[in-house]
Structure 1
Amino acid sequence: MNLLTNRVFQVILFTDVIQQSAIWIRNIALLFFVMELTDNNPIYVSLLTVIEYAPIFLFSFIGGTLADRWNPKKTMIIGDLASAISILIIIGFVSNGNWQVIFLATLVSSIVSQISQPSSLIIFKRHIPEQMVASAMGIIQSLQALFLIIGPIIGTLIYSWFGLTASLVSITIAFFISSIVLMFLPQENKEQEQTSSSFINEIKEGVQYVKNSKNLMIIAATFLFIGLGIGIVQPLDIFLVVERLGLEKENIQWLYTLAGIGMLLGSVLAVFIGDKLNAERVIVGGLCFLSFSLIIEVSSVWFVLTAFMNFMTGFILATWQTTLRMVVIKLIDEQFLGRANGILTPLFIGGMLIGSAVAGPMVTYTSLIFTYFTAASIIFIAAMISTKLSLQSLSTSELTNTNELPHVSVE
């Protein structure tokens, strides 16, 4: 079967385009609106980031458990409808001058995504043939990389030309359209047969499932260290431009653009050769390269070298992310996919939040170079942990249980 003729993949890809557009319009509109209204107050600006990431950390496991219990198609449709309706309510409040409620737009969207995203993974697990998972993940990754480049442009144009209300209305329309398109997913046979088991018991089962899998425990530890390392350097990119390169802060957009282009090309490569790559080597090698690139970037005083490393980092990480997503989908039984994903994601986000919290004091009391070298060392530790992965038997022993699960064919 050709991947692009798979009805499920067509629906997921189309709704991804719509949702990515809505997310970037939301992010840019709220950022610009808050900066204008608060005179660039960093507390309100940082609050947007906290509101976006905190629900991922707090609700990911709960959302994953609910996704395992509920019909994934209905869950995704209701999630988009809930997002659209919440934006409509927020438009009403903003029109009456209660601008602070716009933070709810980010909060509601972030909470809902913690249920709808694992539901999407479950749909993938059921309906995308195993040999096509790598290509499917590569195309999705390519789409996300593309929106890293064009998303801010779309959001800026809509907000600049039409203002906040029009931006919020366009987000509402986008989520309504997405919910309608999701109705074209095939009917699911799985209803709530698991509801006889209590919610708490299902949480315990999810934790035990991850603990019983050596590979998942290794991935969990790797995620924690990666999040910590990335969290340290993420807020400090601007200082590479200003302090190390001696350029104006606006030039950071070129580094982000090159990283986005690298991710796009890396994702396209993963579409064609992702299923032929050695997963263990890609995971370990990608992390080693990320560690090495941080050292080069902070040591560089040449824009060309820094820009090249940003491009290569985007390129390598796109392949790395696609491979890891493919491994996770293949590794986890369908009935535990939401809960397992709900355990892994908070570890990464939690590590990132901790890293971001210590980044400022670390730079203040040491130096930018020391801080980047520390982050590089942490990510190298993640690479060493990932060498313990054993994925050679992924297609047999690790998947024995999933072969016993019901799948719905898609013609």
Structure 2
Amino acid sequence: MNQLLRNRVFVIVATADLLQQVGIWIRNMALLFYIMNQTNNDPTAVSLLTALEYLPIFVFSLIGGTFADRWNPKKTVILGDTLSAISMVVILALVSLGLWQAVFAATVVSAIVSQFSQPSSSVLFRKHVPAEQVGAAIGITQSLMSVFTIFGPIAGTFIYTQLGLQFSLIILFVIFLLAAFIQLFLPPSSREKTVEKRSAMEDLKGGIQYVIKHSNLRLIAGMFLLTGVAIGLTQPLDVFVTMERLGLPKEAVQWFVACEGVGMLVGGILAATITKWVERHRNNVITSTLILWSIITIIEVLSIFPLLTAGVRIISGVTTAFFQVVFSTLMIKEVQVEYIGRTNGVITPLLMGGILVGTLVSGFIVNSITLFGVYGLSAVLIMLCTILTAKLKVYGEGDNTREVESK
């Protein structure tokens, strides 16, 4: 812990990520309520808002990952947050002119920019954080982000309900600008000059081939696609579960999101504390997490008691934290540094493509059938992922590279 806190790159990247998380939650809550007010609580409009968040990620993830491996990571993360800040000013101007539909662009722009900056953050972690500290670093970062998952929805709801959309956009501008400023203090970083001798298309193809040749990455890709659809089906419907199953106003969704944040905080701390044990029993941890995740998905839609729903959201947060810590550690430790951006760029579109499909159809499914059908389908898809996780291999340091070279 002390060694990580003395690591300047870790502290700066983690702080910038936390600021971005605050901005994301303020954006999410403000736009959710604003769109619902403008469309009279239309489920299709809400699912469209979520879809627009993931469509750019699906389209630009591979491109962003490829260029993250080629560009200077420090300059990339600074430019990304700066562009996000500028976009908030443009959208604020359009909304002030009466073009309320411009709020959809806030989600689109933020999603596009993140596909270039997030892989660069992973590159910085891989280059400057010792391999034996990666699991703990991710666990700590996950725990800190969970704090803002707790308070972010509350803050976002308060800012929007008390001060309105325009002030929310101003806050977003300040947050992204501050994140960019903090990252100016990162140490100089450059990419290998030999990379520039290859074209971007050659790098892109190389990233795809790297994933195909790596058995664990192939399994993770399939699992991410299934979980993406499962997440996409239910994510836009949380607010409707709050209103229809629990009989609460839509603003109450913030408290259940906060409960999940509490679970993520606990799960992140626990995962960071027992990181060595988690890595030794990785497959069992992932499989157990998926089974529990599937069960609580069903309980959430069946529950008519707010306290029960809050409880399962806490458990959901714990499972999500373990899921993220395990896979983030796996991706950083097993993937060669020159392929980190492209590997993320190949696998992330599958997750986001799944989420995109799920969000696009969730509104139509719930209007055609019921909430129960949507959540039941999501639970089944999550359970199917256990078939893939059972086949994951556990490698020693560098073994994954030898597997790739032997093929």
Task: Establish whether residue 352 from structure 1 lines up as the match of residue 388 from structure 2.
Answer: no
Shift of 1:116: 0.2
Structure 1: give runs of 5+ residues left out of the alignment: 403-411
Q: Which residue of the partner structure matches residue 388 of structure 2? A: 385
**Structure-1 separation of matches of 2:227 and 2:242:** 23
Is 1:245–1:301's contact at 8 Å kept on the other side of the alignment? Answer: yes
Q: Which residue of the partner structure matches residue 61 of structure 2? A: 60
Q: Which residue of the partner structure matches residue 397 of structure 1? A: 399
**Structure-2 separation of matches of 1:81 and 1:337:** 23
Shift of 1:389: 0.2
Stretches of 4+ aligned residues off by more than 6 angstroms = none
**Structure-2 separation of matches of 1:92 and 1:302:** 43
Shift of 1:150: 0.9
Is 1:70–1:192's contact at 8 Å kept on the other side of the alignment? Answer: no
Is 2:47–2:363's contact at 8 Å kept on the other side of the alignment? Answer: no
Per mean C-alpha deviation after superposition, the further-off stretch among 150-159 and 333-342 is: 150-159
Q: Which residue of the partner structure matches residue 407 of structure 1? A: none
**Structure-1 separation of matches of 2:152 and 2:169:** 15
Residue type of the partner of 1:155? G
**Structure-2 separation of matches of 1:26 and 1:242:** 21
Q: Which residue of the partner structure matches residue 295 of structure 1? A: 298
Q: Which residue of the partner structure matches residue 258 of structure 2? A: 257
**Structure-2 separation of matches of 1:192 and 1:169:** 40
Structure 2: give runs of 5+ residues left out of the alignment: none
Q: Which residue of the partner structure matches residue 375 of structure 2? A: 372
**Structure-2 separation of matches of 1:291 and 1:43:** 25
Task: Establish whether residue 332 from structure 1 lines up as the match of residue 335 from structure 2.
Answer: yes
Identical positions, percent: 44
The 3 A distance-change label for structure 1 pair 243 and 167 is: closer
Q: Which residue of the partner structure matches residue 72 of structure 2? A: 71
**Structure-2 separation of matches of 1:101 and 1:217:** 38
Question: How much is the aligned-residue C-alpha RMSD, in angstroms?
Answer: 2.7
Per mean C-alpha deviation after superposition, the further-off stretch among 180-189 and 5-14 is: 180-189
**Structure-2 separation of matches of 1:128 and 1:242:** 45
Q: Which residue of the partner structure matches residue 275 of structure 2? A: 274
Task: Establish whether residue 284 from structure 1 lines up as the match of residue 287 from structure 2.
Answer: yes
**Structure-2 separation of matches of 1:287 and 1:300:** 20
Task: Give secondary structure in 2 for the equivalent of 1:395.
Answer: coil
Task: Give secondary structure in 2 for the equivalent of 1:69.
Answer: coil
Q: Which residue of the partner structure matches residue 115 of structure 1? A: 116
Per-residue deviation, residues 64-95 of structure 1 (Å, max 9, x unmatched) = 11111111111111111222222233334444
Is 2:51–2:359's contact at 8 Å kept on the other side of the alignment? Answer: no
Please list, as runs of the form range in 1=range in 2, the aligned pairs for 1:140-289 lying within 5 A after superposition. Answer: 140-238=141-239, 240-241=241-242, 252-277=253-278, 278-289=281-292
Shift of 1:322: 0.8
**Structure-1 separation of matches of 2:246 and 2:32:** 27
The 3 A distance-change label for structure 1 pair 334 and 43 is: same
Per-residue deviation, residues 252-285 of structure 1 (Å, max 9, x unmatched) = 4443332221111111111211233122221111
The 3 A distance-change label for structure 1 pair 234 and 333 is: same
Per mean C-alpha deviation after superposition, the further-off stretch among 173-182 and 231-240 is: 231-240
**Structure-1 separation of matches of 2:276 and 2:95:** 48
Shift of 1:338: 0.8
**Structure-2 separation of matches of 1:33 and 1:303:** 24
